[in-house]
Structure 1
Amino acid sequence: MDLSTFNRKIIPIRIRLLKRAGQLLGNDSDAEDIVQETMLKLWDIRDQLDSHPNVEALAMTILRNKANDLWRQRQRFAGMPQETGTESYTTEARSDMELIGLIVEHLPPLQQAVFKMKEIDGYEAEEIISIIGCSPEALRQNLSRARRKIKEEFVRLSNSRTI
Structure 2
Amino acid sequence: MIKIPELIFLDTNVYLIGAVELESPEGLILQWLGWEAPNDNPVGVIISEELIDQIARVAKRLKNKDWSGEIIGRIWQNLKFCYVQLDDVELAEMEILGVIPREDVGVYLTAKIGQSQCFISANHKLIKVLVQQTGEFECLTPSEFFNKYLNRQWFSLIKGRKDYWAKD
TM over 0.5: no
Structure with the higher helix share, 1 or 2: 1
* Higher Rg of the two aligned structures: 1
What TM-score results when the alignment is normalised by the length of structure 2?
Answer: 0.29
Structure with the higher strand share, 1 or 2: 2
What TM-score results when the alignment is normalised by the length of structure 1?
Answer: 0.30
Structure possessing the higher relative contact order (Cα contacts under 8 Å, 6 or more residues apart): 2
